[in-house]
Amino acid sequence: MRSWRESLAACVLVLAGCTTEVTTPAPPANTSAEEESEPIPVDPDACETSFLTYDNFGEPYMLDWCRGCHSSSVPAGMRQKAPASVNFDTLTDVRDFSDRIAARAASFNPTMPPAGGPSEEERTLLAEWLACGAP
């Protein structure tokens, strides 16, 4: 009879052999962390079937990951160097900065938020939502 440690080790080995490799496109060459990079590409047909809207994705995403610094209600000393003129309080604000958001947060080399943050999947959804016009 196997000990629980041997059983656990056997399970780990079996699971390690069952992983699926996910391949993502390589980031553009010669891009430093300080530069904006190309947004994650989105299939143009994705907008035909996308379920993402400001209400179900955009506003919650901005609230979770951006408005801690990029909101007109955040005092200057608490914005973590975010420019006072760059706010994402409304859908119009987000649309006005959509190209910059895509390059800084939904890209191969994201620089926003500066302390990390969203998963690759969330960033891919952000890229889709922005590429589809941030409906």
**Whole-prediction pTM:** 0.72
Which pLDDT score, from 0 to 100, does residue 115 have?
A: 86
Which pLDDT score, from 0 to 100, does residue 35 have?
A: 55
Which pLDDT score, from 0 to 100, does residue 36 have?
A: 65
Reported as a single tens digit per residue, the pLDDT across 84-129 is 999 999 999 999 999 999 999 999 889 999 988 999 999 999 999 9
Which pLDDT score, from 0 to 100, does residue 96 have?
A: 97
What distances in angstroms separate CA 104 from CA 50, 55, 89, 97, 123, one per listed residue?
22, 22, 18, 11, 10
Reported as a single tens digit per residue, the pLDDT across 9-51 is 343 333 334 333 333 344 444 434 445 678 899 998 999 999 9
